[in-house]
Structure 1
Amino acid sequence: MAYKFTGEAGAALAFLIGYLAVFAWMLFAYLTHRIKWRSRYSLLFFHVTIRLASQASGIGFGVLGFANTNLFLAFLILGAEGYFSLVLCTFRFVISWHQHNTPSGESWLEPRDKPGSNKRLKFLVFLFLGPLAFIVYHDNPMVFFHSVLILANAAIVVGGSYLAGADYSDPNLPDTKRRLQISKITRTAGQSVFLAGNAALLIIILVTMRNNRKDGDSRRKKGTVHPTLWLLFIAWFPLIVRGIFGILQAAVFSLSYYNPDNYSATGFTPRFTAIEYFLGVLTEWIACVLLNLTYLTSRHDPKKRDVAIDAPGSNEALGVSEQKGSLVREMDKEGQIESQNRTERGSE
């Protein structure tokens, strides 16, 4: 059988090259120590590697068509994981900005663990309680966000995988209808959670921008917004487009991967290929590039402060102590001046 290099394979190749360019930049930045492996960029680098695998699978499916359906499933699952990792990336970038630029050196989204804290216990609580771990770590909103997004991601992957054994040659079969209905419910629920997470992300970014304008940042400027926050704000727009498209794809059958009308004998139809890559892949790539650009806007940010033993809240306590000490010194100074004035009046 002769295989053809279809338009779908060409679109997958174009974005494979795009992600390879991002991969090459990040690898260069790691090797030259411009960015650290243990930083917010690691999760972004993970997203890029997932997307490279997804695009490679897309090229394979575009060339082989239904001769190898495993490549099709890999493309779907890796695509879902790519979006999941990218949403988490953006949350991590906001948290990192807080830790580097706010006066306290802390993020209200995720307070840093104090020295000697039991991280293994925290992981076990997170693992077994899931979103309910927020009850234990109520001062750490990211525990809740992480847990809910993981569950939503699992629902999307399970919903997509559940349709793998359906017979699409006859969509009216009871088994096919049942699989389509269950998949629609689970994938729509998962995508809705992601959309809600994106809405919460916008609120978090806007609140951070407002506080930055009011309180200033590491640049010691008030009344302006840090360029990194502007990039995060702009990156939110392709993310929300990707989220809306995810819901439409799960809920509207004409946009679904499982609609036979979206396929030709060799794979995706040109119409479906354009929709998938414009709304699904391009949006993620743009957001990924914008997050990488924060390297340029954050190069002069200060390093994270050391976590005090009394954290969380130690930085605020330290600030209060310094203010009290300053007030006491000022009062002592005023007392000395008043005493000197009395002495001078007495000598007269």
Structure 2
Amino acid sequence: MGFHGEGIGGAVFLALYSINLSILIFGFSTRRISFKSVYSFLLFHVCLRISAQSVSIVTGTKDRLDTGLLIAFFVLGAEGYFSLVLCAYRFLIHHHQHIYPVSGSWLEGKPNKNKNTGAKDPWYVRFKRAMTARNSDGTKDPWVMTIIHWTLIGANTIIIVGGTRATGVDYTEPDFWKRIHDGQVLRAVGQAIFLAINILLAIFLYLSVRQDRNPNGTLPSGWNHFFRVEGVHGAIDAADRPKIRSVSPDLLVLILAWPPLIIRGIFGLLQALVNPINYASPAAYGSITGFTKLFIALENVFSVLPEWTACCLLCMTMFFKVDHLHRSEKLHSISNESTTPPTGGLGAAEQGDVRTAESHGMKQM
């Protein structure tokens, strides 16, 4: 029993994903990152990919292709891609929440925290809020991530249904080729949606760069209406940003992670349309042992490798985060100073000057 194509690729990327896993474990163990942060979701993605590569290794040891293993590899791969795209959005929101802690992100609502303990809402409350774009008090949140959540869930379901439409069906069955065609259409629709979501991510990254480089800390004119946030969103945090008029290092790493995602998205769409690289097409299989060499090579180079690269870059953001602890202490200090009256007090004229200056400053914002 030999070790052929699928197994070799699976072994290589299992080793590479083990590196990503080691980076995350290092971050958690040294408390550079927290289990309660977005990095836990990235850890979930890494576990999905490790599972998919393990299935690929087992497939590479079989004398003939196993339908159950094929379905497992396809589903784990689809869920891995789904979780990676969602991770990229979560990391962008994570950036917004730390650079603009008062205003929060314009992609979703600012997290609610208990005033006494600082704890966030329970997960089920946050989940309901994320899926409805409405806070517990009835106020409306920014709506973009709610639409993206529902759209990605729908696209992911379509891809899985389409990819398994003809799996296990004998080619002599009367409706075999109809199943192949239906599966291609479904996968093409699902992959096109994922590609569109990735293109939207590029727009949101561009807007984040513009906001970081804006001295006032606000979005470009008019975009606040689209995201359903105030026109001065980000202004109150502007002066306390770690870098004024420059892009944060963690955002630069996110920008570098976007090209691999778009390559993966384009290849995913092509896989649904081109038979030699389509899981569901007989043209992708060289024999009863498995896929053709062309399929294996293109799958690893244009699907698995871009996903691993993007995942690795997301892992590396922990080394490029700004000094959030220092900023939090500074904000707390400013807050205390604003609530403590001066020892000697101010005269009426001086108080009037202060009010005038504050009013003028607010108008400039």
Same fold (TM over 0.5): yes
Cα drift, residue 280 of structure 1:
0.7
Q: Which has the higher helix share?
A: 1
The residue aligned with 1:7 is: 5
Q: In structure 2, what is the Cα distance between the partners aligned to 1:120 and 1:54?
A: 29
8 Å contact from structure 1 (residues 105, 305) kept in 2: no
Answer yes or no: is 1:256 the counterpart of 2:287: no
1:142 pairs, out of 140, 145, 158, with: 145
The residue aligned with 2:260 is: 238
Runs of 5+ unmatched residues, structure 2: 115-120, 218-237, 355-365
Larger Cα Rg: Structure 1 or Structure 2? 1
Q: Which amino acid aligns with 1:40?
A: V
8 Å contact from structure 2 (residues 7, 59) kept in 1: yes
Q: Which amino acid aligns with 1:177?
A: W
1:49 pairs, out of 47, 50, 67, with: 47
Aligned-pair identity in percent equals: 38
The residue aligned with 1:313 is: none
Q: In structure 1, what is the Cα distance between the partners aligned to 2:63 and 2:165?
A: 20
The residue aligned with 2:312 is: 289
8 Å contact from structure 1 (residues 99, 304) kept in 2: no
Cα drift, residue 277 of structure 1:
0.3
The residue aligned with 2:178 is: 178
Structure 1 residues 139 and 86: CA distance shift in structure 2, 3 A = same
8 Å contact from structure 1 (residues 6, 63) kept in 2: yes
Structure 1 residues 261 and 335: CA distance shift in structure 2, 3 A = closer
Structure 1 residues 159 and 102: CA distance shift in structure 2, 3 A = same
- Tell me the C-alpha RMSD between the 2 structures: 3.0
8 Å contact from structure 1 (residues 26, 45) kept in 2: yes
Structure 1 residues 41 and 304: CA distance shift in structure 2, 3 A = farther
Cα drift, residue 111 of structure 1:
1.4
Q: Which amino acid aligns with 1:241?
A: I
8 Å contact from structure 2 (residues 248, 322) kept in 1: no
Q: In structure 2, what is the Cα distance between the partners aligned to 1:5 and 1:330?
A: 86
Structure 1 residues 220 and 248: CA distance shift in structure 2, 3 A = same
Cα displacement string for residues 102-123 of structure 1 (whole angstroms, at most 9, x for unaligned residues):
2634001111243477974664
Q: In structure 1, what is the Cα distance between the partners aligned to 2:251 and 2:113?
A: 29
Matches within 5 A, 1:250-329: 250-265=272-287, 266-298=289-321, 300-302=323-325
For these two proteins, the number of residue pairs brought into alignment is 309
The residue aligned with 1:163 is: 166
The residue aligned with 1:226 is: 248
Query: Which secondary structure does the structure 2 equivalent of 1:264 belong to?
Result: strand
Q: In structure 2, what is the Cα distance between the partners aligned to 1:188 and 1:111?
A: 32
Of 19-28 and 283-292, the range deviating more from structure 2: 19-28
Structure 1 residues 88 and 177: CA distance shift in structure 2, 3 A = same
Q: Which amino acid aligns with 1:246?
A: G
Q: In structure 1, what is the Cα distance between the partners aligned to 2:280 and 2:127?
A: 37
Q: In structure 1, what is the Cα distance between the partners aligned to 2:262 and 2:111?
A: 31
Q: Which amino acid aligns with 2:165?
A: Y
8 Å contact from structure 1 (residues 53, 78) kept in 2: yes
Matches within 5 A, 1:50-89: 50-89=48-87
Structure 1 residues 138 and 64: CA distance shift in structure 2, 3 A = same
Q: In structure 2, what is the Cα distance between the partners aligned to 1:72 and 1:262?
A: 13
Query: Which secondary structure does the structure 2 equivalent of 1:63 belong to?
Result: coil
TM-score between both structures, scaled by the size of structure 1:
0.80
Cα displacement string for residues 175-214 of structure 1 (whole angstroms, at most 9, x for unaligned residues):
1112112211211111111111101111001100111011
Cα drift, residue 167 of structure 1:
2.1
Q: In structure 1, what is the Cα distance between the partners aligned to 2:297 and 2:209?
A: 35
Q: Which amino acid aligns with 2:310?
A: A
Of 48-57 and 294-303, the range deviating more from structure 2: 294-303
Q: Which amino acid aligns with 2:169?
A: A
The residue aligned with 2:228 is: none
Q: In structure 2, what is the Cα distance between the partners aligned to 1:43 and 1:255?
A: 30
Structure 1 residues 223 and 176: CA distance shift in structure 2, 3 A = same
Q: In structure 1, what is the Cα distance between the partners aligned to 2:188 and 2:306?
A: 19
Cα drift, residue 67 of structure 1:
4.7
Of 272-281 and 135-144, the range deviating more from structure 2: 135-144
Answer yes or no: is 1:153 the counterpart of 2:170: no
Answer yes or no: is 1:106 the counterpart of 2:104: yes
Cα drift, residue 22 of structure 1:
1.1
Query: Which secondary structure does the structure 2 equivalent of 1:180 belong to?
Result: helix
